[in-house]
Structure 1
Amino acid sequence: MDENDPSEQVRALVYLEHSIQDARTDAAGNRRIVSRRMQYVEIDSSGQTRNAGYAPYLNYQALTEADQALIEPILEQSWLLNDIEAQAAAYAIAHIVPQHLQEVKQHKEELIDKTMVAVKDRLIKEINYWDHRAADLQLQEMAGKVNAKINSGKARTRADELQARLQKRMDELQQERRISPLPPVVVGGALVVSMGLLQRLQGKRHATANTFAQEKQRVEMLAMQAVIAAEQQLGYEPKDVSGDKCGYDIESRIPGTGRLRFIEVKGRIEGADTVTVTKNEIITALNKPDDFILALVQVPKSQEFTEGDVWKVKESQGSYKVRDNGCVIRYVQRPFQKEPDFAVTSVNYNWQELWQRGSEAS
């Protein structure tokens, strides 16, 4: 059950394991695995498929036996009888696997380049030493001065061994550079039920819930628009990925570098005391400490904001230019210090404490 979802939706969460190999082989002749990670794909009743992020299950809670009985009829819905696993695997191959491959490739390329420079620097120095040593010993031997400990032949052999070792190491590093992805393997899955649907099935859903959901949507919309506008003004290229629930709401590309800023947006009405952060969002922040930003947005209580205050600039990319909608933004770098306890799905933070730690968007 997703307690942070007030809608009445259900979705399938599929777990996949994905590995990347390089060209080196082990003693059994198998290619060496250089990266293995879990990937998560969610599919809703309309067939929409998305990347569920690093650890979406951390935001969910197990249903009681009584609640499981309430949602039992949902398991017979036709969309769940389709080949969900194949659909999830196909999506992962098209969208998630390339990202995993690119991340590993970039890291490996940088590491291998540095290693090659270091290996060449060390071994070439040794090769040159033994080359010169062999030449000196040979001149001494020609003059009748024989070294009792080492002769020119041994010195030359040592230089040749180091040359062969250098070539072998360079070949190994080139094999490490040649990486390729394996097909993702489905290892499990779950049916995710929203809090809103469960409350309706329990007979607890009231009109006030709809009012609360509408107000929450208004605040989230204004906060997202304000942060996207701020990123554009700073010269970045923001993209709304909030629907993917991948641990952050905005991917903001830094022009000319290919790097991304990962921004989680938290909008609250003026005077709010706390802000709720999911465990998935905290884990994402800890995994990307240098690139993750927690954007706190103080939204005015007034609802005078209208559609006339928004111009769609790049609708296909979800980018907006917003006139002054009254929101105030602060960015918090490295907002979290430790991972929550295992049983925790979300954490409430003091809004003012986080706000004071933040600074103007930059």
Structure 2
Amino acid sequence: MTRLEELTKGTVVEGIEYGGPVTVVGVEWSGDDALELVYKNASGGVDNILLYRYNEPQIKLVSSTDGWTFRGDGELFRLVNEAHRLSLAHLFDPYQAVHSSVIEPLPHQISAVYEKMLPRQPLRFLLADDPGAGKTIMAGLLMKELFARGNLERCLVCCPGSLTEQWQDELYQKFGLRFEMVARQQIEESPSGNPYAEKDFVIARLDHMSRSDSVQEKLKQTEWDLIVVDEAHKMSASYSGGEISETKRYRLGRLLSGLSRHFLLLTATPHNGKDEDFQLFLRLLDSDRFEGRFRKRTRRPNVEGLMRRTIKEELRRFDGTYLFPPREAFTVTYQLSPAEERLYEEVTDYVREEFNRAESLKSGRVRTVGFALTVLQRRLASSPEAIYRSLVRRRERLQAKLEDESKKVRQAAEVGQEPELNSLTRKLQDTDEARSDEVEEAEEQVLDLATAALTLAELEEEIRTLRRLERIAAAVRESGRDRKWEELSNLLRDNPQMFDDEGHRRKIIIFTEHRDTLTYLTGRIRALLGESTRVVTVMGGMTREARRAAQTGFLESPDVSVLVATDAAGEGVNLQ
């Protein structure tokens, strides 16, 4: 508290204006309890105010004309000085983010960030390099440079749900940037109801935001310094009947574009072959330049200053060598054994008959039964183990359904369809937001539950058919003859390309679609190589720590030579 008597000419005080301290120019008393204060504010303007005794608690004396006293907090002064020094570090080291991050950048990454993106203020840019170029690394470098220069206080990363954990891990591990994921749970637990406003560094799911009007209303209450959208080609629009047909994702893109000073779109497939759709996509970055409908017979959209695309064949290291070796793709053909051929034909006949029966029903079952039978056919092509396990599970679930229905209805009554089948099928038609383990789990549920049987008699007949197929599959499985595995084992054992010049086994990745096949292959490969530690796996349902351990072991350990993986290898595991 400062007494009114202490307010003399030249005194600097706080509490008079919100803009900061002011300097006293003159004082004129009105009695003993009030005075008129003439003062000069920080911008040089002169003003006056009446002060009374009850104003004394809000007034604080900052300094007087006695000069510097050096009685301030030395530790606080040191911290402020250090903070100011760090804010100017980019003037001394223009590549500060490179030197303070755990990365080994490549020439095309440095040129993208420091030549194409960083000089542009504000940044509205489409980074469309080929897969494997390291677009996440480039986005991280940009974030860290903007942060070091004091231009990044709030940042939002918007990406498909399967990539959220990978973004969070890489931004923290490589750049020391801590991002928090925001989804339904965080919204429900938020004290204010709007975690997008509470948190400064956020990762959010693309479809969660695009499908929810309430989430978009919360986003409208926020402002960001930088918004990054991964897999941005999903935010598409097209012309239909002379009118623009906007997807929910595209409308989200238009919203996000107006919430941030800097807007960065990442995709390896920016153009779907239609220039008019591409122009609509570019409108997210610059609505003025790309306003109006694209007219044919005119030049293509001018993307100068808005886009960079580099293909794999152009990517090189600093020594001039190509980043990616030439890719040689070939197919290994094989002939099914008689037992495998019989199993294939029998299962195919079952699939055809059940699908024809479902089609004749002309009901909502056609879609679910058709999807289930398609999944069964894919399992058949995967491995004897996968089709055997699938047949067993389907027969057991239908058997349980038969027993349940038998307790409720008479023999000729109609068999009901499981209520969750339609929602499961719809979920499988749009899997952008689902993890691979969630997709496979939903597929298994549809496969196990969907049936074209209308009566208990028809259901009993289908179960008898499944028992017969199960016996045929078990015979193939127990025979040990798996022609696909025999071809793979020959490649692993005898192909010279599997070994380097010194005779050491090269690192090999084997992808498969189903967990049953993955488990089967893992056991056989370990038996072939003689050591279980030489094989690691990545599949759906693993924790982030387990996936990261498998990734580290495969990339760094000389004892691990084979990685067997499902689609989960693309979720939170970076093998570049």
| TM norm structure 1 | 0.26
Structure with greater Cα Rg = 2
Higher relative contact order (CA 8 A, sep 6+): 1
Structure that is richer in strand per residue = 1
| TM norm structure 2 | 0.18
